[in-house]
Amino acid sequence: MDILVVQHVEADPVGILGRYLEVRGAWLHTWLVPQRSTPPHGHYDGLIVLGGSMNACEDDNFPHLIRVAELIRKFHSQGKPVLGICLGAQLIARAFGSRVYQNEVPELGFTPLFPTAAPEEPWLQDYPPGMPMMQWHFDTFELPVGAKLLLTNNACKNQAFRIGSNIYGLQFHPEVTPQTVMNWMAFKTEWIEANYPHLFEQLREQLVLHWVQSAQFTEKLANAWYDQVVTSAQTGSLLEQGSPS
């Protein structure tokens, strides 16, 4: 299965999520935006949109965001799976007409998440209520019309959602490795240093406590999403075979 990965910044790669997908047999084709203005041409069975430091509507400074929103709508219209992470989730919300705006408080570091109900998603089966996942965001979004909320917390309500059967948005970062998280400390702003003076030490402690469980969750997520990609591709192939020539 060929999967297009939109990587907005070099500091946020597909990480351990990509490793698990490759183990299953995925071929990942990364559009690293700082190196090229348009995505690589080809046939893709699924789309992953990663995080980034920009706002989801900052088109003047990052014109590729319009193209990404178009890609999300295109994959959705074709019934192909889409997975958006952090900025990617915000871009899904934007693509479906919802507002993206600054959250009341940022989420930096591992924060607890809670399933909204008895989950239907295979990757949320047995999710321990309150299990922390890595966060690094200042913005949030209104839930798109018809979307189903899957994970939430008190700091930022919309943590994970599904649109239809093939579009998923995650506000948190399941893809990170410890090295990725530590690299992000290079992007500390004066505001972060003033308001989170011990963030580096806190992140190191949180990684020791929570990253293994986070990675186990990411493996379940990758397997379930890849199964969707395979099923979608097989269904599309059968429809093409059955169409009149």
Does 237 or 171 have the greater pLDDT score? 171
Please give the mean pLDDT across all residues of the chain: 93
CATH number at residue 182: 3.40.50.880
- Selecting among 64, 137, 173, 210, the annotated active-site residue is 173
Please state the separation of Cα 183 from the chain's center in Å: 19
Q: 64, 76, 121, 175: which is the annotated catalytic residue? A: 175
Read off the pLDDT of residues 58-114 as tens digits, 9 standing for 90 and up: 999 999 999 999 999 999 999 999 999 999 999 999 999 999 999 999 999 999 999
Tell me how far apart the alpha carbons of residues 66 and 141 are, in angstroms, rounded to a whole number.
17
Q: Which of 86, 121, 137, 210 is catalytic?
A: 86
Active site residue 219: no
- Please check the confidence at residue 245 and state whether its pLDDT lies above 60: no
Sheet holding 148-152, edge to edge: 27-32, 2-7, 46-49, 82-85, 167-170, 160-163, 148-152, 100-115, 131-141
The reported pLDDT for the residue numbered 241 is 59
Whether residue 245 is contained in a domain is answered as no
pLDDT at 153: 97
| Predicted confidence (pLDDT) per residue in 120-159, tens digit | 899 998 899 999 999 999 999 999 999 999 999 999 999 9
8 has pLDDT over 70: yes
Report the number of distinct structural domains present in the chain. 1
Q: State which residues form the domain around 25.
A: 2-240
- Using pLDDT thresholds of 50, 70 and 90, give the confidence band for residue 180: very high
Would you call 239 exposed, middle or buried from its count of C-beta atoms within 10 A (0-12, 13-18, 19+)?
A: exposed
Whether residue 175 lies in the annotated active site: yes
Could you tell me if residue 90 is inside a domain? yes
Q: What is the pLDDT of residue 48?
A: 98
In a domain, 85, yes or no: yes
pLDDT at 185: 85
In a domain, 122, yes or no: yes
Of 9, 6, 12, residue with least CA distance to 134 = 12
Asked if residue 231 is part of any domain, the answer here is yes
182 found inside a domain: yes
173 is catalytic: yes
